[in-house]
Amino acid sequence: MDFELFTLSNGIRIAHKRTTSPVAYCCLMLNTGSRDELEHEHGLAHFIEHVIFKGTKKRKAYHIMSRMEDVGGELNAYTSKEETVIHATFLKQDFVRAIELLSDIMFHGSFPEKELKREKEVIIDEINSYHDNPAELIFDDFEELIFPKHPFGRNILGSKKQLAKFTRQHISDFIARTYNTDQLVFCSIGNLSASRLIKLAERYLGNVQPNPRRFNRLTISEYTPRHKTVKKSTFQSHCILGTTAYDLHDPKRIPMHLLNNILGGPGMNSRLNLSLREKNGLAYNIESSYTPYSDTGIFTIYFGTDKADTAKAIDLVNQEINMLRNRKLGVLQLSKAKKQLIGQLAIGAESAENLMISTAKSILVYEKPDSLERIFKRINEISASEIMEVANEILNPERISTLIYK
Q: Which are the contacts of 138, defined by CB distance < 8 A and separation ≥ 6?
A: 238, 239, 240, 302, 403, 405
Determine the pLDDT at residue 106: 97
Determine the pLDDT at residue 221: 87
Q: Which helix (H) or strand (E) holds 190?
A: strand 184-190
Determine the pLDDT at residue 39: 93
Cβ atoms < 10 Å from Cβ of 348: 12
Determine the pLDDT at residue 77: 97
**Gap between the Cα atoms of 329 and 324, Å rounded:** 8
**What's the pTM?**
0.95
Instruction: Calculate the alpha carbon distances from 345 to 80, 247, 327, 341 in Å.
Output: 21, 19, 26, 6
Q: Answer for the pair 111, 53: CB distance below 8 angstroms, yes or no.
A: no
N-to-C CA span, the chain: 52
Phi-psi region of 244 (alpha: psi -120 to 50; beta: other; left: phi over 0): beta
**Gap between the Cα atoms of 330 and 340, Å rounded:** 15
Determine the pLDDT at residue 394: 98
Long-range contacts of 36-41 (CB under 8 A, 24+ apart): 36/82, 36/151, 36/178, 36/217, 37/151, 37/154, 37/174, 40/162, 40/165, 41/170, 41/174
Q: Answer for the pair 242, 227: CB distance below 8 angstroms, yes or no.
A: no
**Gap between the Cα atoms of 314 and 405, Å rounded:** 13
* Helix spans in 81-157 (H): 95-107, 113-131, 134-146
Full set of structural domains in the chain with CATH: 4-204 (3.30.830.10), 227-405 (3.30.830.10)
Cα maximum dimension of the chain: 64
pLDDT in tens, the chain (406 residues): 689 999 999 999 999 999 999 999 999 999 999 999 999 999 999 999 999 999 999 999 999 999 999 999 999 999 999 999 999 999 999 999 999 999 999 999 999 999 999 999 999 999 999 889 999 999 999 999 999 989 999 999 999 999 999 999 999 999 999 999 999 999 999 999 999 999 999 999 999 999 999 999 999 989 999 999 999 988 999 999 999 999 999 999 999 999 999 999 999 999 999 999 999 999 999 999 999 999 999 999 999 999 999 999 999 999 999 999 999 999 999 999 999 999 999 999 999 999 999 999 999 999 999 889 999 999 999 999 999 999 999 999 999 999 999 9
